[in-house]
């Protein structure tokens, strides 16, 4: 499939529009509800992070979203206009000292619901991969690469 790309303003009212656009394009795959849930939540968490931390709610700054489907591999890229962050040293939200904290679960959920995630060096772009017919949901993570 040719990579469809679109952008949304950094306004939370567009969060669902972003996920719906991707989910709607997957209709022909007859995906299980669980898989759709994982994709939707991951896209929305990535978009929320981009709006909140990347673009600081500045509505004039866009969030760039790009996705492609190759075979059963869905790849979604969400990019903000921010200066990025150090994705290598994120606290574990499940640890005793963090479990009562408000933040920190969004990216953790993405890591658990998608099959692969990767950031660009700057840290303002996240690439998420979901295998539509045989990823984590099915109990066996696929070989990367």
Partner 1 sequence: MVVKDRRVNEITVLTVDGEINFNSSPDFRKAFLRIPDSNLKKVVVNLAGVDYVDSSGLATLVEAYQKIKGAGGELILANLSDKVKSLFEITKLEKLFRVFQSEEEALRNIG
Contacts of 60 (CB under 8 A, 6+ apart): 9, 10
43: number of Cβ within 10 Å: 26
Number of residues lying near partner 1 (CB under 8 A): 25
Cβ-based nearer residue to partner 1, 68 or 108: 108
> What distance in Å separates the CA atoms of residue 69 and residue 107, rounded to the nearest whole number?
22
Cα separation, 117 vs 32, whole angstroms: 21
Closest distance to partner 1 from the beta carbon of 121 (Å): 25
Is residue 112 involved in binding partner 1 (CB under 8 A)? Answer: yes
Handedness of CA 30, 33, 34, 37 (dihedral sign): positive
Strands (E), the chain: 5-9, 62-70, 73-79, 116-119, 125-131
Ranges within 92-111 binding partner 1 (CB under 8 A): 93-94, 99-103, 105-106, 108-109
Site string for partner 1, 32-61 (x = CB under 8 A): -xx--x--xx--xx--x-------------
Which residue number, 37 or 68, has a Cβ lying nearer to partner 1? Answer: 37
Residue number with CB closer to partner 1 (58 or 68): 58
**Shorter beta-carbon distance to partner 1: residue 52 or 142:** 52
Q: Rounded to the nearest whole angstrom, what is the least distance from the CB of residue 139 to partner 1 in the complex?
A: 13
Q: How far apart are CA 60 and CA 75, in angstroms?
A: 26
Kindly list the residues in this chain that would bind partner 1 in the complex (CB under 8 A).
12-13, 15-16, 33-34, 37, 40-41, 44-45, 48, 93-94, 99-103, 105-106, 108-109, 112-113
């Amino acid at each position: 499939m040719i990579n469809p790309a679109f952008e949304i303003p950094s306004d939370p009212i567009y969060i669902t529009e972003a996920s719906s656009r991707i989910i709607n394009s997957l209709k022909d795959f007859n995906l299980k509800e669980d898989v759709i849930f994982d994709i939707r939540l991951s896209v929305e968490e990535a978009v929320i992070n981009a709006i909140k931390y990347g673009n600081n709610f500045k509505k004039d700054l866009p969030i760039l979203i790009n996705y492609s489907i190759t075979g059963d591999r869905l790849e979604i890229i969400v990019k903000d206009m921010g200066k990025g962050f150090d994705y290598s040293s994120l606290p574990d939200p499940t640890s005793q000292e963090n479990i009562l904290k408000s933040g920190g679960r969004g990216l953790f959920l993405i890591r658990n619901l998608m099959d692969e995630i990767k950031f660009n060096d700057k840290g303002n772009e996240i690439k998420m991969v979901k295998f539509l017919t045989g990823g984590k949901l099915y109990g066996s993570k696929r070989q990367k690469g």
